[in-house]
Amino acid sequence: MEKTKIPEENDAAKILIVDDEPLICNALSRLMKRNGFVPLVAYEEHSALEMLRIEIPDVVLLDFRMPSMNGMELMKKAKQLDPDLPVVMITAYADVHGAVDAMRAGAHDYLAKPFDHNEVIRIVHRAVSERKLKIKLKNLSAQLGDRLVLRKLMGHSEAVGKIIMDINKVAASDFSVIILGETGSGKELVAKAIHQASSRRDGPFVAIDCGAIPETLLESELFGYEKGAFTGAVKRKPGKFEICQNGTLLLDEMFNMSMAAQAKLLRVLQERKFNRIGGTQPVSMDVRLLVATNRDLEESSFANFRKDLFFRLNEFTIRIPPLRNRKEDIPYLANRFLKSTNLELQKNVRGFSEGAIDMLLSYDWPGNVRELRSLIRRAVLIADDLILEKHLEIKRSSRIENASENKKGVIEWKECSLKEIVRNKTLAVEREVLTEVLDYTDGNKAKAARLLKIDYKTIHNKLKSFGITPKGGKNGGSTE
């Protein structure tokens, strides 16, 4: 969703005056200047439309009757360019009825000639204030939409909720952020969400995998080079920092950088300037930096990384738990990938068998969400009606297989925390209870919700999350 710039309190609002009478334009222009506004003047339709495209005014004062075009027609064209643009009609007393019609068609207000200067300023102030409020609400709505998109992409678990809370805290700042997570866990999704929720959302978002670029080429990729800087440099090439001006740059796995590259990066971050390779003219930089890594920040392997650069980058940290630690997201994600693959392959695979869901929940997912997506796509390809255990090319989790009974009869869970065991058991019991109650009610979700003393929306969401299809088919049977 596109974000509109909110005029700052100290920004002078631009008022476009459109009238074929120079005396009216001059009088209104002087009045706007005296009251702290920036007047823009157009005497006919074409110049007015050109200014609307280039200057983006905050309010338009538009003559109702002009030789070349009816004011209503011009207002319609202005609204096509910016639906939220306030248009105030200027009219003679004889045309007041026409101005009222214009208000019904979307005009903000009208002014009757000869107009009172105080009344003009009152109407313009109100129009400017309402426009600022509309833009602010629109931007807040867009930011909320970005958070909802992240939930849709990553899941509805408490862990994803915490990630969204962290994004809310840091997005509006220009802090550098380190995003921690295993391969395939969604680090770039989180980086994009930070960018989209920030004031830089209209600027570019650029991601570069530092681990996939040879050390000898990394510096030129980041900072660019001048023509003739080295053999093969036949023309100037901008680097990622230059391409990303006024935007956000994600450096993935940057902790593999050489010490020389680290030193240059630290200097660039401190001075906010850099030189292209082979260049002598410094290039100013206005870029927000995000860093993604699959390392633990406590690892000793950071011994080869400059501490001053690390502290400069680590202004805020967001941790993405691996998929095995947020298993409540697995049924939701599996169903999402199933639906998208159904659309792609034009198939109608209905869902997952109970055994298939149990298999998904018991697996460790070393490749995280990326592995889950690949596995579900392959299963949809080979399944006909339901995805069964045989369609899932995975083995039971080593944690489950390694469960063994000691002499006292107590089950030992290797590499599995108590919190994980409780979570998995709770999910399994919840799924079992829902299945039994729905069998008892012959697929009637409303009756099942009443028996379980939960609302209909809750049971609907839980069934969707677990991939349970009641006896009634896709719509879950009767709801009464």
Tell me the C-alpha distance between 408 and 437, whole Å. 35
How many Å apart are CA 387 and CA 380, to the nearest integer? 7
Read off the pLDDT band of 462 (50, 70, 90).
confident
Between CA 20 and CA 62 the distance in angstroms is 10
Is the backbone of residue 186 left (phi > 0), alpha (psi -120 to 50) or beta?
A: left
For the packed helices 22-34 and 117-154, what is the interaxial angle rounded to 10 degrees? 70
469 with 475: CB under 8 angstroms?
no
| pLDDT of the residue at 382 | 94
Out of 46-55, 75-84, 294-303, 460-469, which region has the weakest mean confidence (pLDDT)? 294-303
Q: Is the pLDDT of residue 365 over 90?
A: yes
- pLDDT for the residue numbered 194: 93
Amino acid, single-letter form, for residue 125: H
Long-range contacts of 374-379 (CB under 8 A, 24+ apart): 376/334, 376/337, 376/338, 376/341, 377/337, 377/341
More confident position, 147 or 220 = 220
Q: How sure is the predictor about 208, in pLDDT bands with cuts at 50, 70 and 90?
A: very high
Q: What is the pTM of this model?
A: 0.56
Residue 79: which region, alpha, beta or left (left: phi > 0; alpha: psi -120 to 50)?
alpha
Instruction: Report residue 194 as tokens.
Output: 């930070």
Three-state DSSP at 179 gives strand
Q: Which residue has the higher pLDDT, 150 or 318?
A: 318
CA distance 241 to 259: 19
Q: Is the pLDDT of residue 464 over 90?
A: no
Q: Tell me, what's the pLDDT at 480?
A: 43
Residue 418: predicted pLDDT: 65
Q: What local confidence, expressed as pLDDT, does residue 6 receive?
A: 42
Under the banding of pLDDT at 50, 70 and 90, the label for residue 77 is: confident
Mean pLDDT, rounded, for 185-203 = 92
Q: Which of 64-78, 121-135, 244-258, 366-380 has the lowest mean pLDDT?
A: 64-78
311 vs 296, more confident: 311
- The SS3 of residue 238 is coil
Average pLDDT, the chain: 82
Query: Please, which pLDDT band fits residue 145 given cuts at 50, 70 and 90?
Result: low
d(CA 63, CA 423): 68
pLDDT(94) > 80: no
pLDDT band at 472 (very low <50, low <70, confident <90, very high): low
Q: Which domains does the chain have, with CATH numbers?
A: 14-136 (3.40.50.2300), 155-321 (3.40.50.300), 325-466 (1.10.8.60)
**Is the pLDDT assigned to residue 16 strictly greater than 90?**
yes
Q: Are strands 248-252 and 288-293 parallel, antiparallel or unpaired?
A: parallel
CA 106 to chain centre: 31
Q: Outline where 346-405 has alpha helix (H).
A: 354-362, 368-382, 398-401
Give the Cα separation of 152 and 449 in Å (integer). Answer: 25
- Long-range contact pairs involving 394-402 (C-beta distance under 8 Å, separation at least 24): 394/359, 394/363, 395/363, 396/359, 396/362, 396/363, 397/362, 397/363, 397/364, 398/364, 399/362, 399/364, 400/362
Rounded to an integer, what distance in angstroms lies between the CA atom of residue 18 and that of residue 94?
Answer: 19
What is the rounded (10 degree) CA torsion for 292, 294, 298, 304? -80
Q: Give 400-422 pLDDT, tens digit per residue.
A: 444 333 333 344 444 455 666 66
> Is residue 93 predicted with pLDDT exceeding 50?
yes
- Residue 372's nearest CA partner among 190, 183, 181 is 183
Percent of the chain at pLDDT > 70 equals 83
Q: Greater confidence, 215 or 371?
A: 371
Q: Residue 201 — φ and ψ, nearest 5°? A: -60, -25
Q: Are β-strands 283-284 and 273-274 bridged in parallel, bridged antiparallel, or unpaired?
A: antiparallel
Residue 136 has φ and ψ, to the nearest 5°, of -60, -45
pLDDT at 409: 37
Residue pair 313/178 in contact by the 8 Å Cβ criterion:
yes
| Higher-confidence position of 437 and 71 | 437
C-alpha 459/C-alpha 441 separation (Å) is 13
pLDDT above 90 (res 148) = no
The 3-state DSSP class for residue 138 equals helix
State the Cα–Cα distance between residues 266 and 190, nearest whole angstrom.
24
User: Which two tokens mark 268?
Assistant: 């660039």
Q: Residue 54: pLDDT band by 50, 70, 90 thresholds? A: confident
Task: Provide mean pLDDT across the span 304-317.
Answer: 88
Q: Which among 152-156, 386-390, 397-401, 449-453 has the top mean pLDDT?
A: 386-390
Tallying the residues shown for the chain, one arrives at 480
pLDDT for 5 equals 46
